[in-house]
Amino acid sequence: MSKLMNRAVASFWLGAVALVPMQALAAEGHGPEIERQRWSFGGFRGQFDTAQLQRGFQVYEKVCSNCHGLSRIYFRNLVQGGGPQFPEASVKALAASWPNKITDGPNDEGNMFERPAGLPDPILGPYKNEKQARANQNGAYPPDLSLIVKARTVERNPSWWTHPFLMLGDIFSSYQEGGADYLYGLLTGYSDPPEGVTVADGMSYNKAFAGHQLAMPQPLQDDSVEYQDGTPKTLDNYARDVTAFLAWAADPSLDQRKRIGWQVMLYLLVTTVLLYLGKKRVWSSIKH
């Protein structure tokens, strides 16, 4: 390996080490400020916390599902590994009593009919389509939440010279939780508008939302959902849990992905070292 390469590699790693504290500089720039949160599923080692996913589903069921669907998640997913892993019997009962029925048919008379959901059916919201949703929500459209965590992110605007370091920092720490940070920031970001700001009729002030005016009224308050496992009933916990649940809904294979990922990385590392030693053997008698 040439000296040039050695130097390049060395400076790469040095840079990587140096940039970790530099993340503190990240906050500059404009746009709503969203703080990074600590997530059990964050970074390269994170996995979902089953108990948290169960609580998060409870929040979704009691609060969010009044307006939002979750149509890419099927009741069967609530049972599977890597998710909330509710017992099958209780999910079946839940599906059967889910208020938003499945439209099926046509039956023998040629009519569409509604039937209760089962394990293979999606978790539907209250509205059949966007038009119906807007008609019932003052013209606003509550989006389906299946992908909301992946479809949102936090925009950062670092100065040009910190940009590459922050980028490398995110790559090394494998930061993928921008959507979760944003959602948590949004759910906890409601407040009265600051002085001088007028909020339009039917809108709510939210510091995390771009433009700060959001059609969704504050959905979660302290004590709005009864937790069964004794977790304190605070807005903060609700926001965290439902965000974790929706992060799972957007990426149900995360646990498996990271588990396999470590096995693959280990394999590649060992093989690369072996191949490098082999290469040195092959070249040992030749100066190059």
Partner 1 sequence: MGGHTSTYVPTSRWGKWFDERLPIARMMHGQFVDFPTPRNLNYLWTFGGILTFCLVAQIITGVVLAMHYQPSASGAFNSIEHIRRDVNFGWLIRNMHAVGASMFFVACYVHIFRGLYYGSYKAPREVLWILGVIILLVMMATACMGYTLPWGQMTFWCVTVITNLCSALDTIWQGLGTAIVEWLWGGYAVSGVTLNRFFSLHYLLPFVLCGVVALHIWALHVAGQNNPTGLDIKQPSDSVPMHPYATSKDIVGLFAFLLLFAWFVFFLPDYLGHADNYNEANPLVTPPHIVPEWYFLPFYAILRAFTGSFLGIPLGSLAKLMGVLAMFGAILILAFVPWLDTSRVRSTKYRPIYKWFFWLFAFTCLALGYLGSKPAEGVYVTWAQIFTTYYFLHFLVVMPVVGLIETPTKLPRSISEAVLGKSKGGTAPSGAAPAAAE
Partner 2 sequence: MTTEVDDTNRRDFIILAGNAFVAVGAASLIWPFIQQMNPDASTKALSTVELDLAPVKEGQAITAMWRGKPIFIRNRTKEEVDAANKVDVSNLPDPLARNDGLPANDPATDANRTKAGKENFLIMIGICTHLGCIPKGQAMGDSKGDFGGWFCPCHGSHYDTAGRIRKGPAPRNLEVPPYQFISDTKIKIG
SS3 250: helix
Residue 261 is a binding residue for partner 1 (CB under 8 A): yes
CB of 146 to partner 1, least distance (A): 8
221 binds, among partner 2, partner 1, none (CB under 5 to 8 A by kind): none
Number of residues that bind partner 1 (CB under 8 A): 47
Alpha helices in 137-222 (DSSP H): 148-151, 163-173, 178-187
Amino acid residing at 2:
S
Q: Is the dihedral of CA 105, 111, 112, 118 positive or negative?
A: negative
What is the helix (H) or strand (E) element at residue 205, kind and residue range?
strand 204-205
Q: Which residues bind partner 2 (CB under 8 A)?
A: 74, 76, 80, 108, 119-120, 267-268, 270-271, 274-275, 277-278, 281-282, 284
178 binds, among partner 2, partner 1, none (CB under 5 to 8 A by kind): partner 1
Which residues, 6+ apart, have CB-to-CB distance to 1 below 8 Å? none
What are the beta bridge partners of residue 205?
Answer: 213
Percent of residues in the chain assigned helix, strand, coil, to nearest 5 = 45, 5, 45
Nearer to partner 2, 171 or 277 (CB): 277
Which residue in the set 179, 185, 189, 219 belongs to the binding site for partner 1 (CB under 8 A)? 179
Residues of the shown chain interacting with partner 1 in the complex, contacts defined by CB under 8 A: 1-2, 5, 44, 72, 77, 146-147, 150-153, 160, 163, 170-171, 174, 176, 178-179, 250, 252-253, 256-258, 260-262, 264-265, 268-269, 271-272, 275-276, 278-279, 281-288
